[in-house]
Structure 1
Amino acid sequence: MNPQEELSIRMAHQSAIRSMQRVVAEQAPAHDPIQAAAAVQGLLEAGRVLVLTGAGVSTDSGIPDYRGPNGSLQRHRPMTYQEFKYRPEARHRYWARGFVGWRHMDSAQPNNIHRTLARWEDDGKISGIITQNVDGLHQQAGSRHVISVHGDLGIVRCLDCHASEERTALDARLEAANIGYLQQVDLDPTAVNPDGDVELPQYLVDKFVMVPCLNCGSYALKPDVVYFGENVPSERKRQIDLLEERSDSLLVLGSSLAVMSGYKILLNFVKRGLPVALITNGHVRGEQKATWRWREPLETALARLS
């Protein structure tokens, strides 16, 4: 690797760190909840609502968010794409910790919010869902038109040959290579991060045995998710553009839109002069641009809508 490439990697890594650390503060006051509820109900009755969801949608399923008061960023910095790709020891650490955390992620079940969105799709109220989550719970709840902008934690890809494997199949291979490993870990489910990562002492990381890609034998395996510092695949961007074109309004649920992949969607609807409604317990990047700001716990808010 030449000095210019090393500099580019370092700069991308630092940019990813800044994105993680972005704090979303209040930019505009919330609207009256009764008026906001009536406005969102009107959007749903008109149909063709695009729903954009973030980690707040899955917290009731036992998966923590990133930026909430008890979010995982308070105790844990996710690995950047640059660290994962260029530091084999960092990959090994991820897979040791991810092997433990996967059990909790794989057992998570859809909650009332996921089920409500699936029902709205069946009723023709929403055009589809763009989710920043990688847990697959929208699909499990029955939603059909879902674009997982940041990928799917249930798929693993090889960075060298690009072959893919189901996470459950890889997990079975890891269990066979690490007999008795899980029994040595006292897992606190509340400490599992949204990417399935958990903290482990270094001696357990050192004891972990990784398995190779079945296709090429490489150990450079990566969950099929977009890490901080990594670009969303161009084909996925195209699918998002098409879904935006088929939608007449935007409803953001449980996301701070701190990262550009989500914030850009809000900006696109504002540019088109279309209504944007936010339902969240916290603040949202660009919230001053939204037509409606409704601050209330998601399940409570959605229970007021039909």
Structure 2
Amino acid sequence: MIKNYNEKIEVAAKLIISSKKSFALTGAGISTESGIPDFRSETGYYQKMDPISALSRDVLLKNPKRFYSEGYKILEDLNDKRPNMGHIALAELERLKLLSGVITQNIDNLHAKAGSERMYEVHGETRGIHCINCGKSYDFSVMKAKVEKNEIPPKCDNCGGTLRPNVVMFGDMMPDDFQRAVMELETTELLIVVGSSLTVSPVNFLPRYVDRLIIINSTPTPEDRNADLVFHEQAGDTLKDIVTEVKNINGI
């Protein structure tokens, strides 16, 4: 068993280089280094509010004042965050043609900000909003401006329908991105899991679609025993070191 950190970095880099097709699967742990608390830890968002009320479709539609005083505050907070070394490293692997894309549980937009081009955002995103009546899309800033003017719930300028964020809330169906991600993994050899506890369904089943698995997470996951390599380290530093080793091996 490989125990030395530097040796594991070298093996991870070689796995990525030799893989015919690789994807990353990211969770909240990759974004904590950008100042975003995760949702379930002792310091996470859900310790301050009930998630079923905070980010619920039912509450959004039936009790919008509560939604915009709780769940919306989380979404608004995410828009001001910046990507960290982990996001940047994955975008670099994609640029080097060694990563086919990113599947993310996160709604913080940080992969897009870091330069990742191929993303499957299986829990949605907070860049945009849409009307639940006519489907017209707007930038998130439109919702922010309306809420600041105390227009609750915000209404569509086109038809007067209710606007909602492009996030998957409790009570929503999984988006098309999830099925697209599953289809991608059916032909993927290596999955790099970063910052996910792999305890939230149905995303926690995705590692079972691949033959090779690297897990980078600060705490153990249920899939650690099935992984080729496991790093219980900070995501940013680990991914940065892997990219550096990839470049060293390839003489870049």
TM-score normalised by length of structure 1: 0.70
Higher relative contact order (CA 8 A, sep 6+): 1
Q: Which amino acid aligns with 1:146?
A: M
Q: Deviations over 1:10-56 (max 9, x none)?
A: xxxxxxxxxxxxxxxxxxx9965444323311222124221000011
Alpha-carbon distance in 2 for matches of 1:258, 1:225: 20
Q: Deviations over 1:243-287 (max 9, x none)?
A: 214421111000012112321211222xxxx11111100122333
1:38 is matched with which residue: 10, 18, 22?
A: 10
Q: Which amino acid aligns with 2:154?
A: V
Partner secondary structure for residue 126 of structure 1? coil
Alpha-carbon distance in 1 for matches of 2:50, 2:40: 11
Partner secondary structure for residue 215 of structure 1? coil
- Once the two structures are TM-superposed, the CA of residue 228 in structure 1 deviates from its matched residue by 3.2
Report what 2:170 is aligned to: 228
Report what 1:242 is aligned to: 183
Q: Which amino acid aligns with 1:257?
A: L
Alpha-carbon distance in 2 for matches of 1:101, 1:72: 8
Report what 1:57 is aligned to: 30
Say whether residues 1:109 and 2:78 are aligned partners.
no
Say whether residues 1:286 and 2:199 are aligned partners.
no
Partner secondary structure for residue 140 of structure 1? helix
Partner secondary structure for residue 128 of structure 2? strand
* Preserved CA contact (<8 Å) 1:114 1:141: yes
TM-score normalised by length of structure 2: 0.84
1:218 is matched with which residue: 153, 157, 161?
A: 161
- Once the two structures are TM-superposed, the CA of residue 213 in structure 1 deviates from its matched residue by 2.4
Q: Report sequence identity in percent.
A: 29
| Gaps in structure 1 of 5+ consecutive residues | 1-28, 179-207
Partner secondary structure for residue 79 of structure 1? helix
Q: Which amino acid aligns with 2:168?
A: V
Equivalent positions of 1:48-87 (< 5 A) are 48-79=21-52, 83-85=56-58
Q: Which amino acid aligns with 1:299?
A: G
Partner secondary structure for residue 276 of structure 1? strand
Q: Which amino acid aligns with 2:202?
A: S
Count of matched residue pairs: 242
Equivalent positions of 1:250-269 (< 5 A) are 250-269=191-210
1:298 is matched with which residue: 220, 225, 235?
A: 235
- Once the two structures are TM-superposed, the CA of residue 294 in structure 1 deviates from its matched residue by 1.6
1:275 is matched with which residue: 212, 216, 237?
A: 212
Alpha-carbon distance in 1 for matches of 2:75, 2:201: 27
Runs of 4+ in 1 over 6 A off after TM superposition: none
Say whether residues 1:149 and 2:126 are aligned partners.
no
Q: Work out which of the two has the higher radius of gyration on C-alpha atoms and give 1 or 2.
A: 1
CA, structure 1 residues 96+67, in 2 after alignment: closer, same or farther (shift >3 Å)?
closer
Partner secondary structure for residue 67 of structure 1? coil
- Once the two structures are TM-superposed, the CA of residue 241 in structure 1 deviates from its matched residue by 2.9
| Gaps in structure 2 of 5+ consecutive residues | 244-252
Say whether residues 1:125 and 2:98 are aligned partners.
yes
- Once the two structures are TM-superposed, the CA of residue 73 in structure 1 deviates from its matched residue by 2.9
